[in-house]
Amino acid sequence: MFDREKFRYDSVNHIGYYNGKIVPSVTQLVNILYPLDDDIPESRLKSAAEKGTQMHSKLEDINQMFVENNYGFYGNMKDAIDYVGDTLISKEEKDYVSILQAFQLEPHSFEQLVFLLDENANLICYGHYDLVAKGKADISFDDEPLFIEDHLYLLDYKRTSLSNRIKTQLQLNIYKVAYEQMTSNQISGLNELWFNEGVKLLPLKLYEKDYVIELCKRLAKSYVERN
């Protein structure tokens, strides 16, 4: 049975430990199936990681407005719109608020640590999701529901030159199962927010819970054997 107190994260080496044993992150498992290109220079990877961290921090500030303020969705949205109206605010922040406004999405929680457990409640992996948002209106595209009022959705921020939707799809499905295991909430859909010459919202497919758990068990075994 999983005990949160037995988990420890080494932030210097980016390694998770549970009861003294190495436990992989969601990203590390996904990278086994979809590894980074070996031809990409280390300096470029480091620069991309730093820019990604900066973007996440900026978007967290906007999310915090919705979580902390008590003005209701539309009052908080007005504050967010006013905030990004400043000429010093980055284009990514402006684009992000435009997405929240266009699709009527309210940040619900963000950057939270979750744990994926197997059928016996043993820890498989851990990770931090970017955003869980609540739909504030029914939004459809081509007569297909995209967001439903009061339903929760997982979103992941990407700022890569190319969108790897299959990789992000697996990543978010793992977060979905882990989030639902850790809370009493259900996730109704998954979306990638791809920041590249503007921002695009890319809907992703949902996988069956049992498939996600079995796949991650195999990937975790492979990760531990490699490390």
Edge-first strand listing for the sheet containing 152-158: 105-110, 131-135, 152-158, 187-195, 199-204
Whether the pLDDT of residue 2 is over 70: the answer is: yes
Higher pLDDT, 207 or 197: 207
Residues 6+ apart with CB under 8 A from 223: 22, 24, 28, 29, 32
Distance CA 128, CA 28 (A): 12
Indicate whether 218 pLDDT > 80. yes
Is 24 domain-assigned?
no
Count other Cβ atoms within 10 Å, centred on residue 142: 5
Question: Each residue of 84-109: pLDDT tens digit?
Answer: 998 789 999 999 999 999 999 999 99
Residue-range definition of the domain harbouring residue 115 = 36-218
Say if 5 falls within a structural domain. no
Q: Are 191 and 169 in contact (CB under 8 A)?
A: no
Is residue 226 situated within a structural domain? Answer: no
Domain assignment present for 23: no
63 domain-assigned: yes
Q: Check which CATH number belongs to the domain holding 194 and give it.
A: 3.90.320
Domains in the chain, number: 1
Give the model confidence (pLDDT) of 152-180 as tens digits.
Answer: 999 999 987 677 899 999 999 999 999 99
- Residue 131: inside a domain: yes
Residue 182's CB is within 10 A of a number of other CB atoms, namely: 16
Contact criterion met (CB below 8 Å) for 100 and 135: no
**How much of the chain exceeds pLDDT 90, in percent?**
72
What's the mean pLDDT when you consider all of the chain?
91
Q: pLDDT, tens digit, for every residue of 3-54? A: 999 999 888 887 889 998 889 999 999 999 998 765 565 656 565 666 667 8
4-20 in b/e form (b: 16+ CB < 10 A) is eeebeeeeeeeebebee
Provide mean pLDDT across the span 55-70. 91
Residue 29 lies in a domain: no
Query: Is residue 144 very low, low, confident or very high in pLDDT (cuts 50, 70, 90)?
Result: confident
Residue 6 within any structural domain of the chain: no
pLDDT of residue 1: 86
Question: Of 25-39, 40-54, 59-73, 137-151, which range is least confident?
Answer: 40-54
At residue 182, the 3 state secondary structure works out as: helix
